[in-house]
Structure 1
Amino acid sequence: MCAVKGIVMNASVLLAVNDDENGIPSLAPAADYLLRKLRYSNIYIGISYGPDLSAPKVRLLQENARLYSYNCFVFRPSAIDNFVSAVSLEWGDNIGSYMHVISSYKDEEISQLISSGWLITVLRSPGKASAVEYNPGTENPSKIFINKLEELPLTICHLNKKGKQAMGKEVETVGYLMKPSREEDFAKRGAFPLNPTPNGLIFVALNYELPISWQLQQLDGVLHKATDDIITVEMSSSSDFENKVTYTEGMQELQRCIGCHPECRVIDPFSNIYPVLDRLKIQQILGGLENLNSKSCSKIRGPHFLKVVDFREPKLEKKLADAKLSLPNIVKPQVACGVSDAHSMAIVFNADSYKDLNIPLPAIVQEYVDHSSTMFKFYVVGKKIFFAIKKSTPNADTLIKLAKEKELKPLLFDSLKSLPVDKDNQQQSQNKDNKQIDHELVTDAANWLRRVLDLTIFGFDVVIQESTGDHVIVDVNYLPSFKEVPDEVAIPTFWEAIKEKLTGKQSVEAAMLL
């Protein structure tokens, strides 16, 4: 069995059965999904149609082919050789098989394709069988039946895995689940190929339209960004945190099914991501950085902080002072991600402003660190660490000038959309910034956090306090995009980290060091 190196989808599986009320053709919903999913699969993709197809339908298919950079081929059952030659001329004759996806067939029409080494995948008519009955190993290896078009990516994974295994190579299949925009960011960088990576990984998107349990049976691991599927997080106390996160129905189903498939590794276990949802928990964890400061002239730490459940409590000002918090402060919701207002923040300059502060409670009041408008974003990807230098909020004196224009009212902002930036300090040299940071110390902190959190991929932000040189970790986040890292370095490292997690090396190491 050879790996699938190219897929040609016939118009019959892509077009909606009926035109709309104005006689305009459209794609079937599953077809639109599939065309988007296959765009960055690292497999040749084409669309075929017969010479008798109406001009509006041909235009629709050609427009979608241009949109996704796919090829179009004319398919005549009476001229199979011409079709095979056209595909081979466009895509070459490298090792592997081509697949034609059709909805109906005659054996005499497809026998020539099969004799040319092609695979035929037939989309069954609705109602013929359920998805869970699909088993590629039980049918003619050159003719496969699927019940839904959404099954095609997993079918390709199965065939490519079997093809590599037949050559004596180990291949593991990873299902992934995250919001569409994040998925596309990773996919267009080449992170999710349907062809095996150099270290033997194949990626396929999980689909809630198919039985989750059936999909997990064919996977070796699941990579998820569960925070994208959070509906609510209850932060009234710090115990039983697992029971306070409400996920979408699909994510809940995935969690239930994973419990029935222990052989399928989860990257990362849901319990491991809970600390990064809770800014209070992360602050408490960062307190352990004190043990890393003995061998360096610099000091790395978390910021001073205080949890607040009521901005109008009478002793708030004293509690702030006891927590070593002086104005200005930055105020953040305790919920760190997963809900709409998790990134609604404020910089407060006057203690009286707390009474009417519109930040979700409970909240974390955090030390505002003067850091010359420079932030260092660190990314931990498996055992490797990368960083990037970004512009950040200005020092307190600049902020105060800005706040005075607004009568010292709090500066409200969404940290995902906009930050107050020091416009007078935009041209500061990154080389100078780079020399300021103690890379060895931050690397020690990154490795320490990796062991404590036991996360495969995470990020954290470091600022350097002007007055003391302290390296202050002000934020920790799960599965960042690490888009500042060049793709040729980032993506192989991403694959390496996932492979290590699947083989258990990283988890065993973490368990030994904790």
Structure 2
Amino acid sequence: MQTAIAGCSKQREREMAGGNGIVRGVIMDEAVVLQQNQECLQPGAESLLRKLRYSGIRTGISYGPGLSSRKVSLLKRMANLHSVDCFMLDASSTYAAIHEVMLSWHDIGGSILYLVSNEKKDISLELSNCNWLITVLNTEGGSSCESSSIIQINRLDELPLTICHFNRKETGKNVTTVGYVMKPSRQEDFAKRGAFPMYPTKNGLMFLPLTFELPLSPQLQEVDIVLHKATDEILSIELSGSSGHPNKITYTRGMQELKCYMDHHVDFCVIDPLDNIYPVLDRHKIQQILLGLEDVNTSGVKIRGPHFLKVDDFNEPDFLQRLSKAKLSLPSIVKPQVACGVPDAHSMAIVFKVEDFKDLSVPLPAVIQEYVNHSSILYKFYVLGEKVFYAVKNSTPNTDTLMKLCGSNELRPLVFDSVGDLVDSLKSLPTANEKEHRVNERIDHDRVRDAAEWLMRNLGLTIFGFDVVIEERSGEHVIVDVNYLPSFKEVPDDVAIPALWDAIKRKSESRRTQREENKC
């Protein structure tokens, strides 16, 4: 069979191997997927399969002819679960194996990377001769592979970095590599929508999932810009007690390492700097910032933040006077000052009577916020660089309905988690008639866009979201929440994902231009 391969023309070899160029296909040998002498997967194998499934990289699992039927069955179940292919690669019939792969993957338009254990280096060398990119997983106690054309890794979770390395080498400076950090569930939600391909997008981006399980510095050396959801990595927030001093944020070990790297590499590009997201972690701070929206209200419909009051103790002697001075009437909504990153950040309450503040279970310090009658309609706005999108959502009911829900005699506080079941049940109540809905759908898009641009400038953020309600009586637009890197799941993927890519690309180019100007 070696003779058959050696006799192939270079063109034929490229046809069989999928062509030179960026990695568009990955095949993982059974020995790197299954644990030796056991009918179960290697640690990290399933996580890697999930990453590859949504990366845009065609993925397959290979096995030899001697594998037990039970293990073959397990591999095929996993392949079916993760929508990957299964191939039998026989070392004694390499040409036939390549031919089978290319019949199935004739349209991938790039190179194939073959991940194999070092016990199978013989077939690896043959496939390398046919332009497959060979990566060997050094299993414990295995011997090193001597070929200089073969890359070796020690862990499965090094494979995305290896793919990135191959593709950066192939594309050179024509592609911007984006490393991203967020919790696995969020990462997968974005990846399912096609947001994080490991091969170049049409506007020249390529994505690498950064992992804190590996040394961070070598990964960051492969990327040009970092996209993060740092709020996923917060362990605790210690409020400063002073608007003039930043709050103390404690991150996970990995995020702290990333922060240190960014602090020591001032030219490193990140979306967005950690300092810029701090205001959205503090509900009092963001309310103070929203006071500046007066600059936007030159004429026409007014857009503003809600009336608010920060409290450290509900038993303060001048509590009633402070409520009145802040233009707050009841019912009001009470929220923890810390907006995210801690377990009780979403523990809230709607309070109907002053005496009920005294024993309220909402964590202190807290922000008491105006409850706006808005006919149960919430507008979620998403800012992706220069693009602004919105979605209309059901929201909590007006105060008269809330009072009926609580019972006119009792009117006890409604305590809920803003991402939990109670708030969802409140949103599902039929509270607005058709006429009220038509009135509230007349949102002033130009005014909200002006506010979005104002927030972008004042917060220094590239990707963020904010919620708007329309006060039923006055028509005033009220921004009731601001958050960083939302899912924007209500925006269709074919619109949202290109906008995300464009925002990242513009940020990268802007930073590059700024660095060049500073050098001059």
Q: Does structure 2 retain, via aligned residues, the 8 Å contact 1:299–1:470?
A: yes
Structure 1 position 100 matched with structure 2 position 114: yes
- Identity, % of aligned positions: 57
Partner of 1:355: 358
1:190 Cα deviation (Å)? 0.2
2:210 maps to: 206
Pair 1:488 & 2:494 matched: yes
How far residue 207 of structure 1 moved from its aligned partner, in angstroms, is: 1.2
The residue number in structure 2 matching 1:133 is: none
- Other-structure match for 1:147: 154
CA distance in 2, matches of 1:435, 1:157: 46
Distance 2:443 2:195 in 1: 30
Contact 2:394 2:427 in 1 (8 A): yes
Match of 1:503 among 501, 509, 513: 509
Structure 1 residue 158 and structure 2 residue 165: aligned?
yes
How far is the alpha carbon of 1:115 from its aligned partner?
3.0
In the TM superposition, residue 139 of structure 1 has moved relative to its aligned partner by: 7.6
Secondary structure of residue in 1 paired with 2:196: coil
The answer on whether the counterparts of 2:116 and 2:124 sit within 8 Å (CA) in structure 1 is no
Quick check: 1:315 aligned with 2:326? no
SS in 2 for 1:468: coil
CA distance in 1 between partners of 2:50 and 2:121 (Å) = 31
Q: Of 172, 175, 180, which residue of structure 1 is paired with 2:176?
A: 172
- The whole-number CA distance in structure 2 between the counterparts of 1:126 and 1:259 is 37
Paired residues of 2:375 and 2:436 also in contact (CA < 8 A): no
* 1:104-127 deviation digits (Å, cap 9, x = unpaired): 256653343223221111112348
Contact 1:241 1:274 in 2 (8 A): no
In structure 2, relative to structure 1, the CA distance for the partners of 1:406 and 1:489 (3 Å cut) is farther
The letter for the 2-side match of 1:445 is A
Indicate if the aligned counterparts of 1:376 and 1:390 stay in contact, CA closer than 8 A: yes
Which letter maps to 1:501?
Answer: K
1:433 to partner: Cα distance:
5.7
Partner of 2:35: 16
Q: What TM-score comes out, normalization by structure 2 length? A: 0.90
Answer whether contact 2:64 2:90 (CA < 8 A) is retained: yes
Matches within 5 A, 1:336-485: 336-404=339-407, 407-418=410-421, 419=423, 420-421=426-427, 423-425=429-431, 428=434, 432=438, 435-485=441-491
CA distance in 2, matches of 1:291, 1:246: 35
C-alpha displacement of 1:425: 3.1
2:8 alignment partner in structure 1:
none
Q: CA deviation at 1:56?
A: 2.1
8 Å contact kept, 2:310–2:366 = yes
**SS where residue 16 of structure 1 aligns?**
coil
In the alignment, structure 1 residue 3 sits paired with structure 2 residue 22: yes
Asked if residue 73 in structure 1 is aligned to residue 87 in structure 2, the reply is yes
1:35-74 matches, cutoff 5 A: 35-74=49-88
Aligned residue for 1:191?
A: 195
TM-score (norm. length: structure 1):
0.91
State the distance in 2 between where 1:254 and 1:289 align. Answer: 34
**Structure 2 gaps, min length 5:** 1-19, 515-520
Mapped contact 1:193–1:202 kept (Cα < 8 A)? yes
Aligned residue pair count: 491
| 1:29 corresponds to 2:38 | no
Q: Does residue 287 of the first structure (1) align with residue 291 of the second (2)?
A: yes
Looking at structure 1, the residues matched to 202 and 87 of structure 2 have their Cα atoms a distance apart, in angstroms, of 31
- Give me the whole-angstrom Cα distance separating, in 1, the residues matched to 2:470 and 2:143: 61
Between the aligned partners of 2:477 and 2:441, the Cα distance in structure 1 is: 13
For residue 305 of structure 2, the aligned residue among 302, 305, 310 is 302
Structure 1 residue 427, shift from structure 2 partner: 7.1
Gaps in structure 1 of 5+ consecutive residues: 20-24, 131-137, 509-514
Are the counterparts in 1 of residues 49 and 82 from structure 2 also a CA contact under 8 Å? yes
The answer (yes or no) to whether the contact 2:374–2:469 under 8 Å persists in 1 is yes
Q: CA RMSD in A?
A: 2.3
Contact 1:501 1:507 survives alignment (8 Å): no
C-alpha change, 1:124 and 1:429, in structure 2 (3 Å) is farther
Secondary structure of 2:473's counterpart equals coil
